[in-house]
Amino acid sequence: MAELTYRDAVARGIAQEMERDNDVVFLGEDIGKAGGVFKATVGLYEKFGPLRVRDTPISEQAILGAAMGAAMTGLKPIAEIMFSDFFAVCFDYIANEFPKSRYMTNGQVKCPLVVRTGNGAGSRFGAQHSQSIENWAMMIPGLKVVAPSTPLDVIGLMAAAVRDPDPVIFFEHKSLYATKGEVPDGEIVDTLGTAKIVRPGKDATILALALMVPRALEAAERLKAEHGIDVEVIDLRSLVPLDTQTVLASVARTHRLFTVEENPRLCGWGAELVSIVADEAFYDLDGPPVRITTPHIPLPAADILEDLALPNAERIADRVRRSLEG
Amino acid sequence: MARKPAAMDDAAQRNSPNDDIGEALRLKLYRMQVELREAEQRAFDLFLQNLVKGTSHLSLGQEAIAAGFGVAMKPGDLSFCTYRGHAHTLARGVPVEKVLGELMQRDNGLMRGKGGSMHLTSVEHGVMGSYAIIGAHLPIACGAAWRAQYKGDKDVSVCFFGDGTTNIGAFHEALNFAVVWKLPVVFVCENNLYMEYTPIGDVTAVEHPAADRASAYGLPRIVIDGNDADEVYRAAMKAFEIARAGNGPSLIECMTYRHSGHSRADPAKYRPEGELEKWKERDPIKIYRERLKQFGVGDDVIEKINAEVMQVVNDATEACKAAPMPSLDILTTDVYADGGWAWRN
């Protein structure tokens, strides 16, 4: 058991899989000699060498295209897109190419690859380097989508993603890189499509993802301490496959549903979950489901504005309390 | 309009008695071109009967390129084609029936109707897909070449694309990438003078849209007569030798002309009068038939090949007409590796 940062967990997760399987290769901008712009891949180049850890030019289409070509012919590439906002310059591969190739070819082509990317706000980088874009990936049939919130989950879900036979988008939250957590020694392998109840409770269910998980947990502690409200917090961890059974079972116990989403409001993942619960567990609910999201705006750079935009513990707690009291 | 390469008018070269290719290979090149022509002509006829649905992009008149490369490629080499990819798919030995079946959206098609004309794929023949988003497959071919390099395999990835592709970003990203990583990939530009409906010269900064960009990536400028299968074959073999020796990528611009419009919706009225007729005089199959005669191949041998190919295409057509439509249960298969489409529990 050791305490590890989320940042170091990325390198450990990749190293675990590269040690296990020589077909796992890693490519991206500044990932090798420089150790990554977020220092999340330090040591991999030295450990695995330039043939397996390859620095690329600033060519996002070439990075994802090459990852796909390598995946469909037998390698298991991990590709880094430095900021998830850059998905927009290589979206053809994410939307049209690797998720559809298996279906279009009636199962002939396989694309076992992982695209890992720095997602989310908190770094005061402004509207093009701060977005939370899980829904861009979630809407595409053929992709799997994960977003871990702890160092342990980073390693376990990375292993699951690399070993998965389908293309997986792996969202790392930039504001979580410095956070720490306990991680056991030895190999860690998790399962895609499994949500985790990170705080049991009986009065309401809060669904959260990535950076919103610690914020929802903080809100839960406040609600308990200040108002005696006992909420259950679920870390979804994986949007595709989506563990709806854990969510539906929780709502059946608590009878209230809240989502906490970092994405701008329209078409956020919470909308899909609210729709599922409304459709399948309507009579379990004692009140309307509530989505707590970033407003539908581009993100500002100034810290006081960015902080105002994202859901925080205070806002989450306040919204839950008003709903339950109302 | 792009300038004709010098070799196109060089009758002396074409008539050279120096036969480096040999009769067996020549007959193979001829048969292949005739098969591509007849299969695509049949696809067009089947449109008119409403038996081929959706869109389709024919490469009638461009057969020498797919045939030249197809014959030069070895088993294990990989093809990456465009939405105009019927010919390149057939040229790797994929049965005509499998291609026509896919165009006719039948259960016997290459992908049982799930892909259609623009996405022909046959992994068992090394056809790693036909890509309908312009330029997308150039980086993908780089990735396949990277795998070969990483594994120490000697196979080459061959990526076919049109002149219009040279103006999209992925073309430039892929060329730089391939050179920097010294990848065993061969980029084949089929310059048929038109990007869809617009003359390529009207929208491109250089005369030869692929070859004139080669020097920007440290590659030699190669322009060949894409209507002469021998020239194509020779250029392919040279590029493959470079790639297999570990000396990196090549970019070859093949001058050609498509006899039909961009797609089946296009009557190609934008072409100047007489242009098509002029290029039909340089029809690759016509050129090659003359070539065979120059090398002493008799009319009877040529007619026998023609008849055999026609029989193959006729048999394939009948098999496709008799084949059932795809079963409805495949609507949701193979979205994910477990064979299904489940995104939730």
Q: Rounded to whole angstroms, how far apart are CA atoms A323 and A321?
A: 5
CATH of the domain at A7: 3.40.50.970
What angle, rounded to 10 degrees, do the helices at B137-151 and A60-72 form?
60
Question: Searching chain A, which residue's CA lies closest to the CA of residue B333?
Answer: A103
Shared domain check, A229 and A253: yes
ipTM at complex level: 0.97
Rounded to a whole number, what is the distance in Å from the CA of A326 to chain B's nearest CA? 33
Contacts of B334 in chain A (CB under 8 A): 102-103, 106-107
Residues of A carrying an active site annotation: 129
Shared domain check, A202 and A152: no
Q: Rounded to whole angstroms, how far apart are CA atoms A259 and A276?
A: 13
Shared domain check, A133 and A260: no
Shared domain check, A162 and A37: yes
CA atoms within 13 A on the CB side of B332: 5
What burial letters (b/e) apply to B8-45, b meaning 16+ CB within 10 Å? beeeeebeeeeeebeeebbbbbbbbbbbbbbbbebbee
Domain assignment present for A190: no
Q: Which domains does chain B have, with CATH numbers?
A: 19-319 (3.40.50.970)
Q: Rounded to whole angstroms, how far apart are CA atoms A170 and A94?
A: 12
Domain assignment present for A77: yes
Number of domains in chain A: 2
Shared domain check, A212 and A167: no
Place of tokens 């609210």: A274
* SS3 (DSSP) at A166: coil
Q: Rounded to whole angstroms, how far apart are CA atoms B241 and A319?
A: 68
Shared domain check, A112 and A174: yes
Rounded to a whole number, what is the distance in Å from the CA of B137 to chain A's nearest CA? 7
Q: Rounded to whole angstroms, how far apart are CA atoms A237 and A20?
A: 24
Among A151, A183, A215, the domain-final residue is: A183
Rounded to a whole number, what is the distance in Å from the CA of B112 to chain A's nearest CA? 7
Contacts of B341 in chain A (CB under 8 A): 141
Helix, strand and coil content of chain B, in percent to the nearest 5, comes to 50, 10, 40
Q: Which of residues 65-124 of B touch A (CB under 8 A)?
A: 78, 110-112, 114-115, 119, 121-123
Shared domain check, A83 and A211: no
Shared domain check, A261 and A120: no
* SS3 (DSSP) at A296: coil
Structural domain containing residue A212: 196-325
CATH of the domain at A227: 3.40.50.920
Q: Rounded to whole angstroms, how far apart are CA atoms A286 and B316?
A: 64
Q: Which of residues 136-155 of B touch A (CB under 8 A)?
A: 136-148, 150-151
Q: Rounded to whole angstroms, how far apart are CA atoms B59 and B190?
A: 10
Shared domain check, A142 and A15: yes
Domain assignment present for A147: yes
| Interface contact flag, A105 B335, Cβ < 8 Å | no
* SS3 (DSSP) at B229: helix
A58 contacts chain B (CB < 8 A): no
Q: Rounded to whole angstroms, how far apart are CA atoms B59 and B65?
A: 10
Contacts of B327 in chain A (CB under 8 A): none
**Residue A110 Cα to chain centre, angstroms:** 23
Indicate whether A308 pLDDT > 50: yes
Q: What is the pLDDT along chain B (345 residues), one digit of tens a residue?
A: 444 444 444 444 444 556 899 999 999 999 999 999 999 999 999 999 999 988 889 999 999 999 999 999 999 999 999 999 999 999 999 999 999 999 999 999 999 999 999 999 999 999 999 999 999 999 999 999 999 999 999 999 999 999 999 999 999 999 999 999 999 999 999 999 999 999 999 999 999 999 999 999 999 999 999 999 999 999 999 999 999 999 999 999 999 999 988 887 888 889 999 999 999 999 999 999 999 999 999 999 999 999 999 999 999 999 999 999 999 999 999 999 999 999 999
Contacts of B147 in chain A (CB under 8 A): 69-70, 73-75
Shared domain check, A253 and A206: yes
Phi, psi of B272, deg, nearest 5: -65, 150
Strand partners, A169: A115, A145
* Cβ B168 vs Cβ B88: under 8 Å: no
Q: Rounded to whole angstroms, how far apart are CA atoms B117 and B125?
A: 17
